[in-house]
């Protein structure tokens, strides 16, 4: 009985956090009228898309005991690639596939280096962070890449052929979240990801091809980051090589707030998605309160610390 | 005047939530007495030690140290009051020197800087008190052997002149020879008037070194007295509450065809060590062995002799420098653990926490990790089928847990080990490579594992066991091979070995 109560608390922790944050911004007189409206939540959901899709890939990586710091740069690079391809007259589907593939390619570089050279993911992806950012600027000739128009431009607004309720990006993120959650929980691949993150030595001893698995995880996550780059492109309507600086921290924070452990073996897609929403609600609410951006940064920083601290308390108690 | 009783505990109680870890524990120790604290896992020894060392506070009961009330606020306070603790897992900063480790937290300072001369002298004194004055103080702790690291840890404990020293399973990772040295050290401390609480699963050791004993069962003191009046059977009966008649069962079994052969294998760690052959040339140490279906093959030897290396090489976890491993019906190319599982070979790691198990995952996930793809089609896993398979072994091996979805870190060591072993049974393996299968687990679980191994052999499985505990090997195995510095020197039927023979072969003093 006691134990089930604890698991429920552990699982619903991020959800309670989200409700608290929403409640906090619904009360003040400045925001009361507008904050809880459908239109505002449409904006919040749209603002969550890029971080949420990045968090899908990042959850896999963090659960496997790794980390990827190069996400922001990957998003910038893939959005520049997408913009250049549109300039060259590629159709939207070809651009979509090419952008996802280029994200996967960066993942392949990361994964191969981590598994092949046996170096820590932190160092390797810190390196790719620079490499990808530099490449983006190089490809874009150090300026934004503009194009006339593309059907892609409408994927982050409601004025698009696919949906008039929420932008295409939101639906894509939702469907991918569902699929990734199934992948992690109910497939051999997913269970092996948890095994790898929980104890790599055990995974190896039990006959899991750990190197191949690591590479696969980073490639798959890279594809998600490429897709996030595409939505970045759709949102800005131009390829900007200086975009998404530091976005990896937002993405990692979403995953951690969602209950994943940086030491691996623990984490859920649902948690990470709620984590991404908490980040978006905090930003949206702060803007409506008229708080300066530096104040938002401080608040988000504190929320991360509090979330991890609460998680530690929870786990400490579970260990007793 | 020294009081007749150094430490007296009366009616200690402690609960964690609904669990009553200690119901009523009483204990009295005289100055210069070695007192064995005996009990199965979960009997309350760890809780008692945590209360004594100040990590927890008791709910009720009294503690007196040299006739003064003793209520430590935290481990540091306990140390200052004269109670020091040596944990089973050594707590050394491996990158610091021996001297820095000994003085950790108690550095001699002058003007805020570490006073090298005084520090050195104090560390040296502590080591000499232990009869190990020759230890290199400037060497990094990580470069010492486990036995020497333990000496460093004891020296640290002695620095504050403790009245009571608590040692938790001090010999669990020591070889026989190092154990002898530790006993000499303990005798020395006893002569200096230090009272020692000695906790161990090895009853033979307790009866050798201890003056008196106390047995805990389910959080209560169930017996105590002078060691010389107690028999091992009596102690085991007190611990388990039942009589353990035959610890090493012999289910009749008949070895059949050879299923595993290692031919002149050179272990990577020993490839550089050349030994002289009869003809003046030098050769690398090699290992050759054959294991039959339905045979229990024991590998004896000192820690670091290469037993684990050999087992890991057979399983494809480490590469061999030379030689080959042949399995019935398998090609003789270099193998990975993945290939080995497919060929029906299972491996149980000696290191349950770091390699054997995924501690923050469920029993079911741990138990079925080698065969996830069999619990559904096309890459899918059905948790219900996985849990049903795990539940079968949880019931069959009487693993104490809520259900197979429980996180494995919440189980006791013995129950964790049963799950680790069940992974091989569930796979199912035909050849069992077991590295120290009973290390650090309670007598009840040990007896169960012996029974299981014996039944496996009867069912025609081949079992290779590495163990540092000789009575276990002699009680269980059909054949025993002894390793010495990377070389498998002698293989004989069990009947042709005695403990002394094995120790001689293991130390290379034939």
Here the ipTM equals 0.83
**Cβ–Cβ of B381/A202 closer than 8 Å?**
no
Is a pLDDT exceeding 50 seen at residue A318?
A: no
The conformational region for residue B150 under phi > 0 = left, psi -120 to 50 = alpha, else beta, is alpha
Residue B407 has pLDDT above 50, yes or no: yes
B373 contacts on A by Cβ (under 8 Å): 188
Q: Are residues B309 and B191 in the same domain?
A: no
**Residue B67: inside a domain, yes or no?**
yes
Q: Residue A58 maps to which CATH number?
A: 1.10.3470
Higher pLDDT, A220 or B335: A220
More confident residue, B298 or B39: B298
Tell which of B381, B410, B420, B421 to mutate to test the A interface (max A CBs under 10 Å). Answer: B381
Do B103 and B22 reside in the same domain of the chain? yes
Q: Look at residue A316 and tell me whether its pLDDT is greater than 70.
A: no
Residues 6+ apart with CB under 8 A from A65: A196, A197, A198, A200, A263, A264, A265
CB-nearest partner of A192 from B349, B355, B372: B372
Give the DSSP letter string of B269-299: GGTT--EE-TTS-EE---EEEEEETT-EEEE
Residue A161, domain member (yes or no): yes
Q: Which pLDDT score, from 0 to 100, does residue A319 have?
A: 42
Give just the sign of the alpha carbon dihedral B429, B434, B439, B444.
Answer: positive
CB contact under 8 A, B381 and A192: no
CA of B244 vs chain A CAs: smallest distance (Å): 32
In a domain, A258, yes or no: yes
Q: Domain check: are B231 and B281 in the same one?
A: no
Chain A residue nearest residue B339, CA to CA: A207
What mean pLDDT is predicted for residues B49-62? Answer: 90
- Collapsing DSSP to helix, strand or coil, B435 comes out as strand
Domain, as residue range, for A235: 35-314
Those residues of chain B whose CB sits closer than 8 Å to some CB in chain A are: 16-18, 317, 336-342, 347, 349, 354-361, 365-366, 369-370, 372-373, 376, 379-383, 402, 407, 409, 423
| Residue A311 pLDDT exceeds 50 | yes
Count of domains for chain A = 1
What's the total number of domains in chain B? 2
Nearest to A198 among B338, B361, B373 (CB): B361
Query: CA-CA distance, A202 to B354, in Å (whole number)?
Result: 8
Looking at the domain assignment, is residue B18 inside a domain? yes
Whether B197 shows a pLDDT value over 80: the answer reads: yes
User: Which residue is listed with tokens 């000994």?
Assistant: B102
Domain at B497, CATH number: 3.40.50.300
B277 with B198, same domain: the answer is no
**Confidence tier at B460 by pLDDT (50, 70, 90):** very high
pLDDT digits (tens, 9 = 90+) for A241-266: 999 898 998 999 999 989 898 889 99
- Tell me, yes or no, whether B353 lies in a domain: no
Identify the DSSP state of B459.
T
Domain identity same for B176 and B313: no
Q: Cβ contact (<8 Å) for A204 and B359?
A: no
Separation of CA A62 from chain center:
11
The three-state secondary structure class of A138 is helix
Q: What is the 3-state secondary structure (H, E, C) of A219-278?
A: HHHHHHHHHHHHHHHHHHCCECCCCCCCHHHHHHHHHHHCCCCCCCCCCCHHHHHHHHHH
Summary mean pLDDT of chain A? 88
CA A216, CA A228: separation in Å to the nearest integer?
A: 19
- By Cβ distance, the residue of A191, A201, A319 closest to B365 is A191
Q: Are residue B131 and residue B173 in the same domain, yes or no?
A: yes
User: Quick check: A150 and A86 in contact, CB under 8 A?
Assistant: yes
Domain-embedded: residue B340: yes
Radius of gyration in angstroms for the set of CA atoms belonging to chain B, rounded to a whole number: 25
What residues have CB less than 8 Å from B197, skipping those under 6 apart? B29, B35, B37, B49, B52, B164, B165, B166, B167
Confirm or reject contact between A201 and chain B (CB < 8 A). Answer: yes
pTM of the predicted model, to two decimals? 0.78
The answer to whether position B184 is within a domain reads yes
Q: Are residues B226 and B299 in the same domain?
A: no
* The pLDDT of residue B176: 72
Domain membership of residue B61 (yes or no) is yes
Domain membership flag for residue A71: yes
DSSP structure string for A48-114: HHHHHHHHHHHHHHHHTT---S-HHHHHHHHHHHHHHHHHTT--HHHHHHHHHHHHHHHHHHHHHHH
B187 lies in the same domain as B259: no
CA distance B313 to B267: 8
> Model confidence at B247, in pLDDT bands (50, 70, 90)?
confident
Alpha helices for B130-250 (secondary structure H): 146-158, 176-191, 203-209, 232-240
Specify whether B24 is located in the same domain as B92: yes
The domain boundary residue, chosen from B208, B240, B272: B240
Angstrom distance (rounded) from CA A22 to CA A2: 29
Which domain range does residue B155 map to? Answer: 7-240
Q: Is it the case that residue B399 has pLDDT exceeding 60? A: yes
- Does A186 contact B at CB distance below 8 Å? yes
Q: Which of B217, B240, B263 is the last residue of a domain?
A: B240
Distance spanning both ends of chain A, measured CA to CA? 16
pLDDT tens, position by position, A22-76 = 888 888 877 777 888 888 888 899 889 999 999 999 999 999 999 999 999 999 9
Q: Does A194 touch chain B (CB under 8 A)?
A: yes
**B129 and B33 both lie in a single domain:** yes
Question: What is the number of other CB atoms lying within 10 angstroms of the CB of residue B450?
Answer: 20
Residue B353: its pLDDT value, please? 87
Residues of B in contact with A320 (CB under 8 A): 16-17
Q: Is residue A19 part of a domain?
A: no
Q: Is A259 on the interface with B (CB under 8 A)?
A: no
Closest CA to A72 of A243, A218, A253: A243
Radius of gyration in angstroms for the set of CA atoms belonging to chain A, rounded to a whole number: 20
Q: Which of B29, B99, B96, B26 is nearest to B61 (CA)?
A: B26
| Alpha-carbon distance values, B360 to A255, A263, B191, B425 (Å) | 18, 11, 45, 22
A16 in a structural domain: no
Of the CA atoms within 13 Å of residue A191, those in its CB half-sphere come to 26
A25 domain-assigned? no
pLDDT recorded at residue A223: 97
What per-residue confidence (pLDDT) applies to A11?
67
B347 neighbourhood in chain A, CB within 8 Å: 205
B236/B279 same-domain check: no
Q: How confident is the model at residue B47 (pLDDT cuts 50, 70, 90)?
A: confident
- For residues B81 and B191, membership in a common domain is answered with yes
Contact B465, B437 (CB under 8 A): yes
């Amino acid at each position: 009985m006691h134990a089930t109560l604890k698991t429920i608390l552990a699982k619903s922790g991020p959800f309670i956090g989200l409700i608290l944050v929403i409640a906090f911004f619904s009360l003040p007189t400045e925001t009361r009228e507008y904050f809880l409206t459908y239109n505002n939540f449409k904006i919040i959901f749209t603002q969550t898309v890029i971080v949420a899709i990045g968090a899908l890939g990042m959850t896999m990586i963090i659960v496997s005991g790794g980390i990827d710091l190069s996400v922001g740069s990957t998003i910038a690079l893939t959005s520049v690639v997408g913009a250049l391809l549109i300039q060259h007259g590629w159709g939207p589907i070809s651009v979509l596939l090419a952008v996802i593939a280029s994200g996967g390619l960066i993942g392949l570089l990361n994964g191969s280096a981590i598994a092949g050279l046996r170096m820590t993911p932190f160092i390797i992806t810190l390196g790719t962070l620079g490499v990808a950012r530099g490449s983006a600027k190089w490809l874009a000739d150090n300026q934004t890449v503009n194009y006339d128009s593309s059907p892609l431009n409408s994927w982050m607004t409601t004025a698009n052929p696919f949906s008039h309720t929420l932008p295409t990006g939101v639906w894509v993120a939702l469907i991918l979240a569902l699929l990734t959650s199934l992948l992690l929980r109910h497939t051999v691949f997913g269970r092996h990801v948890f095994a790898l993150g929980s104890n790599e030595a055990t995974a190896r001893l039990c006959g899991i091809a750990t190197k191949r698995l690591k590479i696969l995880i980073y490639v798959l996550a890279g594809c998600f980051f490429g897709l996030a780059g595409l939505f970045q492109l759709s949102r800005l309507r131009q390829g900007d090589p200086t975009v998404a600086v530091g976005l990896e921290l937002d993405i990692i924070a979403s995953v951690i707030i969602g209950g994943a452990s940086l030491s691996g073996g623990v984490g859920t897609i649902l948690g990470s998605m709620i984590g991404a929403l908490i980040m978006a609600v905090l930003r949206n609410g702060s803007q409506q309160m008229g708080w300066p951006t530096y104040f938002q940064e401080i608040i988000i920083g504190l929320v991360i610390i509090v979330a991890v601290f609460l998680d530690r308390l929870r786990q400490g108690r579970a260990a007793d | 005047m020294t009081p007749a009783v150094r430490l007296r505990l009366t009616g200690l109680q402690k609960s964690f939530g609904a669990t009553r870890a200690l119901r009523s524990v009483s204990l009295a120790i005289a100055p210069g007495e070695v007192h064995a604290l005996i009990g199965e896992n979960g009997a309350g020894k760890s809780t008692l030690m945590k209360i004594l060392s100040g990590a927890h506070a008791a709910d009720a009961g009294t503690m007196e140290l040299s006739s003064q009330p003793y209520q430590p606020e935290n481990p540091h306070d306990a140390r200052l009051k004269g109670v020091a603790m040596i944990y089973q897992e050594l707590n050394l900063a491996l990158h610091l020197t021996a001297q820095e480790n000994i003085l950790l937290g108690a550095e001699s300072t002058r003007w805020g800087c570490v006073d090298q001369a005084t520090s050195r002298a104090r560390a040296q004194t502590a080591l000499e008190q232990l009869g190990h004055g020759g230890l290199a103080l400037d060497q990094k702790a990580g470069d010492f052997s486990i036995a020497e690291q333990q000496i460093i840890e004891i020296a640290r404990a002695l620095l504050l002149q403790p009245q009571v020293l608590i040692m938790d399973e001090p010999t669990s990772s020591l070889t026989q020879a190092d154990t002898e040295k530790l006993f000499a050290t303990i005798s020395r401390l006893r002569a200096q008037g230090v009272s020692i609480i000695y906790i161990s699963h090895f009853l033979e050791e307790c009866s050798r070194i201890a003056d008196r004993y106390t047995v805990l069962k389910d959080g209560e003191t169930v017996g105590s007295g002078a060691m010389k009046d107690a028999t091992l059977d009596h102690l085991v009966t007190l611990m388990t509450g039942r009589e353990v008649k035959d610890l090493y069962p012999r289910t009749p079994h008949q070895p059949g065809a050879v299923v595993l052969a290692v031919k002149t294998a050179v272990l990577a760690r020993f490839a550089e060590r050349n030994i002289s052959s009869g003809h003046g040339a030098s050769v690398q140490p090699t290992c050759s062995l054959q294991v039959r279906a339905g045979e229990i093959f024991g590998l004896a030897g000192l820690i670091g002799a290469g037993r684990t290396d050999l087992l890991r090489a057979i399983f494809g976890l480490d590469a061999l420098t030379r030689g080959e491993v042949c399995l019935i019906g398998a090609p003789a190319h270099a193998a990975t653990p993945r290939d080995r599982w497919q060929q029906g070979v299972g491996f149980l790691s000696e290191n349950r926490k770091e390699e054997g198990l995924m501690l923050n995952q469920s029993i079911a996930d741990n138990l079925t990790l080698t065969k996830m793809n069999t619990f559904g089609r096309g890459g899918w896993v059905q948790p219900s089928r996985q849990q049903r398979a795990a539940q079968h072994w949880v019931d069959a091996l009487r693993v104490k847990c809520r259900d197979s979805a429980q996180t494995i870190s919440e189980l006791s060591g013995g129950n964790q080990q049963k799950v680790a072993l069940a992974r091989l049974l569930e796979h199912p393996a035909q050849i069992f490579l077991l590295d120290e299968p009973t290390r650090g687990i309670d007598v009840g679980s040990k007896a169960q594992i012996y029974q299981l191994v014996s039944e496996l052999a009867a069912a025609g499985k081949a079992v290779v066991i590495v163990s540092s505990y000789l009575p276990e090997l002699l009680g269980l195995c059909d054949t025993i091979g002894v390793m010495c510095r990377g070389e498998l020197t002698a293989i004989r039927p069990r009947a042709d070995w005695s403990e002394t023979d094995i120790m001689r072969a293991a130390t290379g003093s034939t």
